[in-house]
Structure 1
Amino acid sequence: MIELTHPWIFVLLPLPLLVRFGLPAYRQREDAVRLPFFAALAQASGVAVRDGAAVVAHRRMALVAGAAIWALLLLALAEPVRLGPPKEISKASRDVILAIDISGSMDKVDFPGPDGKAQQRFAAVQDVVSAFLESREGDRVALIVFGSQAYVQAPLTEDLDTVEALLQQTEVGMAGPHTALGDAIGLAIHTFEASDIDERLLILLSDGNDTASRMSPINAAEIARDKGVTLFAIGVGDPKASGEDRLDMEALSALAARTGGEGFFAADAQALDTIYQQIDAQTPRAQDTLRWRQREPLGYVALLLAVAVGVLLLGVFWLGARRRSAT
C-alpha cells in the first residue's frame, strides 16, 4: 500500500497554467533595422504602427514534458511511502523482581512436593518459579538471590529464558549461610531505580527470619512503599522450627502490609503455585501494545523520473539541432 505524507501539495498542480495565462507576457527589446521612410511605408500599406512583438511558439513535446516534470516534482514533495503490513510490539508495563532466599536452611529436604514426597526447599521453589516465569510475558523480570549478602543474579529484562537459566544455575549457600531480608529489599529498591515503569512488584521468598541484614527490614519496607514498590512475602519454611531455620511469618506479613502487599505461607508446592495465581489476581497486568507499520520512502523514484524526462527532452532537442545543422 502506497500513501502520500503531504497530499495537499497537489493544490500547486495548476500553478504553471495560472502563471502562463494570468501574468502578462514577458517583453524583451531587441535591435532592429531603422528605416527613415518607415512611416510612409506603413501608411502606404495601410498598417497601423505599434510596438512589435514576437510570440515564441512552444513545441507540444516540450509542453508535455514540462507538465510531467512538474507533476513528478510535486509527487516527490508529497513524500510517497510504501506501508508494510501492520505489526504489534508488546511493551513491558510492569516490573517484577523475584528475591529468593538461598541461605543454608533452604537445603533442607522437608518441603512437600506435588507427589507428596519431601524435596529440597530450594528445588521446590525453582520448579514453581520456573512455571511462574512462563506466564510473565509482557513483564520485565529481575532475579535477586540472598543469604548473608544480597546479589542481583539477573537485572530487569524481558528475556525470561535467561532469567530462568540463571535461576537453575543458582545453588544453595552461594550467598552465605545466613538470611539478610532487609538487604534483599534494599537491593530490590535500588534495582527498581533504573526503571521508568510505575507498576513495581517485589516477590520475596524466604524460609527464615532476618539474621544478617545491615538495613532493617522495616526501614527497607517503608522505603519501598515510598518508592511505589508493592511487596508480597512468601514463607516457605517451618513456623515451628527454631534458630536460623525458624520462619517468622508474622514479620514477613507485616513487611508486606507496609507496602500495600500481603504475606503468604506456602505449605507445599501446590500452595506455592496457588499463591502466584492469587498475586496475579490482586495485581492484574495491563500490557501496553505498540502498533506500527514499516514506512519505505519512495520520493526518490519521482525525482529520478523527473530527471530522466528532462534528460530525454534535452536529448531530443540536441538531435533535432544536429539534423537541422546537417541539412
Structure 2
Amino acid sequence: MAIPGGLSGQQPRPQITPRPKPGADTPESDRITPNLRIDTNVVLIPVTVTTPLNQFVTGMEKENFRVFEDKVEQEITYFASFDAPLSVGLVFDASGSMGSKLSKSRQASAQFFKTANPEDEFFLIQFNDRPQLVVPFTQNTEDIQSRLTFTQAKGRTALLDGIYMALQTLKKAKNPRKALLIISDGGDNSSRYTENEVRTLLREADAQMYAIGIYEPIGSRSRSAEELSGPGLLSELTEMTGGRNFPVDNLNDLPDIAAKIGIELRNQYVLGYMSKNQTRDGKYRRVTVKLNQPRGMPPLKPLHRQGYYAPTQ
C-alpha cells in the first residue's frame, strides 16, 4: 500500500507532470483509457481515503471497503482504482471583490488543469451578478485558460446561481465521473436560487464538488454578513458530495491547493453495487462507506458522497 510522500519526515511539494495527449504515432494499445461501462442500475461511489495527516492512501483492495445503504450492507460488485476520465466544471467568481485575486486564481486554474487526463472534458462558468457559461464542454483546457485571461472583476456575487447552472450543465457530461471546482472569495448576495434548491440538485447530480474559498481575515471589518457565512455554506455543500472546501488565507497558496484537488480526484477508488432495495420510489437513500482497517496503518478516513435518489421508473 503506497502513501504518496510517506508517513514521516517533511512532505515534498507535489510534483505535477502533464499527461501527454496521444498523437498519431502513439500505439493504439497505449491510447486506450479505461472507461466505466456499467449498467445504469449500478450505484457508483467515488471514495478518497486519507490518513490523519491528509495524505492519500493508494493500493487498497475491494476487501478493504464496506458499503451500506440506509444501514443495510450492500455487495460491492464493481471496484476500480484507475484514473477514470472526468467531466469537470470550473465555476469561477468574477465579482468585483475578486479584483486583486484574479491573477492567483488564474494560476490556480492552470495548476488544476495540469493534472488532467487526455480523456477529461471541462467547461467554464463565470459569475458575478449572474452566471454565464463562457466555455462549453471541451477537452482543450487552453480554451478555458485563454478566456480567463480576459476576465474582469465587477458586480455582485451570484454564487448559488453559478453552482446551479454548473449542475445543469453537468447533465450533458459524457463521462460517468463528474466534479465541480468552485473558486470564490465570499458568500452569496445576488442569487435567485436558494440554498435548499441547490442542495436538492446536488443530491440528484451524482457529482463531487470541491471549493477554494479566498476569504478576508476573520477580523476584517470589510467582511459582510454574506462573506461570513460563505465558508460554512461551501463546507456543507462540498461535504454532501464527498468533496471538500479549502479556505485560503494566503493567495500564494492557491495554485498548490488547486493542484492538490486535481491530484485527489486522481487518487480515488470507485465502488459499485446493485442496491438490495429495488423499489423505484424516487426517495433519497443514505450511503455510508466503512473501511476494514489494514494492519499497521494509522486511522484512515473515507470521503464519499452521502447518498443518492432512487430511480422512479
How far 1:132 sits from its partner (Å)? 2.2
Is the alpha carbon distance of 1:218 and 1:123 closer, same or farther for their aligned partners in structure 2, counting shifts above 3 Å? farther
The residue aligned with 1:203 is 181
Higher relative contact order (CA 8 A, sep 6+): 2
How far 1:93 sits from its partner (Å)? 1.2
The residue aligned with 1:122 is 102
How far 1:242 sits from its partner (Å)? 2.1
SS of the residue 1:238 aligns to: coil
Is the alpha carbon distance of 1:90 and 1:205 closer, same or farther for their aligned partners in structure 2, counting shifts above 3 Å? farther
CA distance in 1, matches of 2:130, 2:186: 14
SS of the residue 1:246 aligns to: helix
Q: 1:134 aligns with which of 114, 129, 132?
A: 114
Q: 1:233 aligns with which of 197, 211, 225?
A: 211
SS of the residue 1:178 aligns to: coil
Is the alpha carbon distance of 1:229 and 1:282 closer, same or farther for their aligned partners in structure 2, counting shifts above 3 Å? same
The residue aligned with 2:165 is 187
Unpaired runs of at least 5, structure 1 = 1-83, 108-119, 287-327
Is the alpha carbon distance of 1:205 and 1:221 closer, same or farther for their aligned partners in structure 2, counting shifts above 3 Å? farther
The residue aligned with 1:293 is none
Deviation by residue 1:122-174 (Cα, 9 ceiling, x = unmatched): 1110122123223324221111100110001111110111111111122112x
Higher strand share: 2
CA distance in 2, matches of 1:239, 1:255: 22
Aligned: 1:104 with 2:86:
no
How many residue pairs were aligned?
Answer: 188
Aligned: 1:278 with 2:256:
no
Deviation by residue 1:179-199 (Cα, 9 ceiling, x = unmatched): 111111111011111113111
Is the alpha carbon distance of 1:209 and 1:86 closer, same or farther for their aligned partners in structure 2, counting shifts above 3 Å? closer
CA distance in 1, matches of 2:257, 2:112: 10
CA distance in 1, matches of 2:26, 2:87: 30
CA distance in 2, matches of 1:90, 1:280: 21
Aligned: 1:93 with 2:74:
no
The residue aligned with 1:309 is none
TM score, norm. by length of structure 2: 0.55
Q: Is the 8 A contact 1:200 1:230 kept in 2?
A: yes
The residue aligned with 2:194 is 216
SS of the residue 1:100 aligns to: strand
TM score, norm. by length of structure 1: 0.53
Higher helix share: 1
Q: Is the 8 A contact 2:167 2:205 kept in 1?
A: yes
CA distance in 2, matches of 1:285, 1:94: 12
Deviation by residue 1:93-131 (Cα, 9 ceiling, x = unmatched): 101111010101111xxxxxxxxxxxx211110122123
Counterpart residue type for residue 131 of structure 1? Q
Is the alpha carbon distance of 1:134 and 1:279 closer, same or farther for their aligned partners in structure 2, counting shifts above 3 Å? closer
How far 1:85 sits from its partner (Å)? 8.4
The residue aligned with 1:149 is 130
Is the alpha carbon distance of 1:95 and 1:210 closer, same or farther for their aligned partners in structure 2, counting shifts above 3 Å? same
CA-based RMSD: 2.4
CA distance in 2, matches of 1:145, 1:223: 19
Aligned: 1:266 with 2:248:
yes
How far 1:212 sits from its partner (Å)? 0.9
Counterpart residue type for residue 153 of structure 2? V
Q: Is the 8 A contact 1:239 1:249 kept in 2?
A: no
Counterpart residue type for residue 165 of structure 1? S
Q: Is the 8 A contact 1:97 1:188 kept in 2?
A: yes
Aligned: 1:163 with 2:105:
no
Q: Is the 8 A contact 2:108 2:257 kept in 1?
A: no
